[in-house]
Structure 1
Amino acid sequence: MTVPTEGRSTEERSRGPLAGLLVADFSRVLAGPYATMLLADLGAEVVKVEGPGGDDTRTWAPPLRDGVSTYYLGINRNKRSVVLDLSVDDDLAAARELARRADVLVENLRPGGLARFGLGYDEVAATNPGVVYASISGFGSGPEGRSLPGYDLIVQAVSGLMSLTGDADGSPYRAGVAVIDVVTGLHAAVGVLSALHARAGTGRGQHVEVDLLSSALSGLVNQTSAVVAGGVVPFRMGNSHPSLFPYEPLPCADGDLVVAAGNDGQFRRLVGVLGVPELADDPRFARNEGRVANRRELRALLVERLRTRAKDEWFADITAAGVPCGPINTVDQGVALAQRLGLDPVVAVGGVPSVRHPIRLSATPAGYWLPPPGLDEHGAEVRRWLAAPED
């Protein structure tokens, strides 16, 4: 489909694997905007539709960069913003025309929220049968869940994630990032790409539905599997792992070092470096099951050795032995580590620093051509394009 292209070179437009796709983004906050940014980085043209007040995250501050919320900046690059008040006839007509032209529509209003404006899946598909229409909700579109508002924190609580996070004898904690929103955004992007692949064979789009609670339960992986397949209810263990040991921070002479011996071979190499190779042949510790069952005794023996040297010294030696380990960094130190490893984690988009797209494609790489837009920054351009006949 013809899409607005001001701001991109011909080379940039044709290089991304999703070049030529138009995404009508009616989402806000995190899960939807994160999904659409991933698609935009891969070449899709994303038109971000905002109400007169703008995306909520525009006001989620501090921190700020040049007066703009860094929360908003982190998930809205490579998009064009147009303000459309769906209670105004002309704006509603423009929104419907955008939906009619779109390859993909993403929305995260409460289920049925867009249908009252004639922008639900059935209405859009009636004039645009090829549309891939992605709906993101908190608790699904069923009669019980559709009326429940969904925020990441709420779903961290009700899914059980918070019951697993924190000290064993302390209070439940939320994760330090809106991890459920991020996982849901990833699921939405996978669903959209799957439906686009199916459309290539059938010519027809479909309705893609993802919700925060289902994404949370899927993202809890081994912990939800323990419940549904093993009948075991997991509980908070602080930094300990329910099925592996050692797989946690361990104290050295000057602080903690995270050690992750994920199999028997890694454990044997670890205790060799620590100078207690006999532990690998101890019947209590030779196999992972025994190490988990006897973690208290084994932890004391490992800590006794680790406390004899600084964490950076152990980090160098344990890593050299092929055993995963690492210091507990601050976020800025994590970014610096990625830089040292040659991962180039930061890209500048129109002078705005941003975190690089995480997927590397050898032939059709992600691109960065538009900084996060100001509110209605591209409104006139998008309106002109919608008012003009299609090519």
Structure 2
Amino acid sequence: MNRKTPPLGGLRIIESSLLGPGFLTTFLSDLGADVIKVEPPQGDYIRQMTWPIVNGVSLLHLHTHRGKRSIVLDLRQPEGVELYFDLARNADAVVEAMRPGALERRGLGYEQLKEVNPKIVFATISGYGMTGPYKDMPSHGIAYDTWAGLIPPTYDDEGFCRIPEMPNIGINIAPLIGAFALLAGIIRARETGEGCRLELAQSDAAAYMDWYRIETWKAYERPEDEVTGNPSDDYERRAPGLAGMWEGVRYQMYESSDGHVLFMASEQAFWRNFCEALDRMDLFDRWPGSKYADHARGNLELQRELRDIFRTKSSAEWLEFGDRVNTPIAPVNNAKNVVDDPQFQDRLPLFSVDQVGCEQLPLPVKFFDEELPTPTHAPTVGQQTEEVLSELLGLSGDRLAALRDQGILG
């Protein structure tokens, strides 16, 4: 069954954005919300940023603004501001995805919008947020991850400091958290008739997603008789997060005959299953380990044994083995080959070039007994201006022509 109304059908959001923070509303447009991106006559220069460029348009734009409608309003002109007010009157939310205060400087801040729509939810997403000593600093996406301590400096063979390869965290997770908070505000506004204002920073979100390491370091500031390591490590404190995995043996990456796999037999039961299936109970008898969270840390003799064992099978054979004997073994993919993984192909079938301009990942959510709508192609600047203004505001063709002659619609 394919329901005609998507999960967020009937939700309308007005978006004013530059570059990546507009990703906040993409999660909602993927679920069927009507997201109207209001752009200045020159448009959002996201279309020329980063790489790759697909038929003259950046992948960043094609993904971030898929499923949305674009209109042009010159907010330097009073009539452009009035049209923005008219759009906000019947919207659920306005998203300011740029430096805080940009809309307020045009007379379109939360207090002004609330006068025409008391239920409006106004969300601002920015780099460092609206408070603190960094609030006015110019920045780009990687800055939030370096600020949060996520990216260690790397040096090349000539001694030059480099940015290492890793996924961006802050610029992706902040929009997701923002979408969650925006929906919370909208639900309450629909129940109470009262809107709200919220803001979030991409830097804050980057730090929040590394809560485990940050909170571990804070915990280690307390006396060792209060905060210890795990019993399987004789209570010795390990470095926080994955840094503490370096010396792991029963929880470690190993080279297979054609790639790598991740071995995760940290529970004693999984370790026994592994040894029994290989007819290597001598390994278990010699190093049975603790019942839980035992990585056989620093056991180089065992690590050499496992290194030789894992080289005897292909990665696919080890995955089948782990599934069959109930011991956790995972593939080790990279961003290029993960799309060939059968689990990826089953769970995340890519949108096609014909659908959205280039192959793109879908929203990783599945609703039972229905399919989410396929997003429309990311719009050109002002592509739906006449459509939106006539549909939502009832403007006639003559009125639209007059506005265009005045330069208000670009």
Instruction: Identify which of 197, 200, 205 aligns with 1:210.
Output: 200
Distance (whole Å) between structure 1 residues aligned to residue 109 and residue 18 of structure 2:
17
Distance (whole Å) between structure 2 residues aligned to residue 197 and residue 310 of structure 1:
50
TM-score calculated relative to the size of structure 2: 0.79
**In the alignment, does 2:312 pair up with 1:308?**
yes
Q: Relative to structure 1, is the Cα distance of residues 386 and 13 closer, same or farther in structure 2, using a 3 angstrom cutoff?
A: farther
The residue number in structure 2 matching 1:153 is 142
The residue number in structure 1 matching 2:340 is 336
The residue number in structure 2 matching 1:375 is 381
| Residue 59 (structure 1) shift | 0.7
| Residue 45 (structure 1) shift | 0.6
> Is the Cα contact below 8 Å between 2:238 and 2:244 reproduced in 1?
no
**In the alignment, does 2:365 pair up with 1:359?**
yes
Q: Relative to structure 1, is the Cα distance of residues 126 and 274 closer, same or farther in structure 2, using a 3 angstrom cutoff?
A: farther
**In the alignment, does 2:113 pair up with 1:109?**
no
Segments of 5+ residues of structure 1 without an aligned counterpart are 1-10
Q: For residues 220-262 of structure 1, give each alpha carbon's deviation from its aligned partner in whole angstroms, at most 9, with x where no partner exists.
A: 1321221233339996998873797533321234432222335
Instruction: Identify which of 39, 54, 59 aligns with 1:50.
Output: 39
Distance (whole Å) between structure 1 residues aligned to residue 382 and residue 60 of structure 2:
18
SS of 2:360 mapped into structure 1: strand
| Residue 296 (structure 1) shift | 4.2
Distance (whole Å) between structure 2 residues aligned to residue 194 and residue 245 of structure 1:
44
> Is the Cα contact below 8 Å between 1:17 and 1:364 reproduced in 2?
no
SS of 1:351 mapped into structure 2: helix
Distance (whole Å) between structure 1 residues aligned to residue 291 and residue 3 of structure 2:
54
Q: Relative to structure 1, is the Cα distance of residues 350 and 304 closer, same or farther in structure 2, using a 3 angstrom cutoff?
A: closer
| Residue 129 (structure 1) shift | 1.3
Distance (whole Å) between structure 2 residues aligned to residue 112 and residue 211 of structure 1:
14
| Residue 339 (structure 1) shift | 6.7
Letter in 2 for 1:146: K
The residue number in structure 2 matching 1:77 is 66
| Residue 288 (structure 1) shift | 4.7
Letter in 2 for 1:206: C
Say which one has the larger Rg: 2
**In the alignment, does 2:221 pair up with 1:231?**
yes
| Identity level (%) | 26
Distance (whole Å) between structure 2 residues aligned to residue 256 and residue 159 of structure 1:
30
Letter in 2 for 1:191: A
TM-score calculated relative to the size of structure 1: 0.83
Structure 1 residue runs of 4 or more that deviate by more than 4 Å after TM superposition: 11-14, 164-167, 170-175, 232-240, 242-245, 281-284, 287-290, 338-341
Larger mean Cα displacement after TM superposition, 267-276 or 207-216: 267-276
Instruction: Identify which of 246, 253, 267 aligns with 2:250.
Output: 246
Instruction: Identify which of 65, 88, 92 aligns with 1:99.
Output: 88
Instruction: Identify which of 8, 11, 17 aligns with 2:7.
Output: 17
Segments of 5+ residues of structure 2 without an aligned counterpart are 223-236, 396-410
Q: Relative to structure 1, is the Cα distance of residues 48 and 366 closer, same or farther in structure 2, using a 3 angstrom cutoff?
A: same
**In the alignment, does 2:378 pair up with 1:388?**
no
Q: Relative to structure 1, is the Cα distance of residues 253 and 362 closer, same or farther in structure 2, using a 3 angstrom cutoff?
A: closer
The residue number in structure 1 matching 2:321 is 317
Letter in 2 for 1:37: T
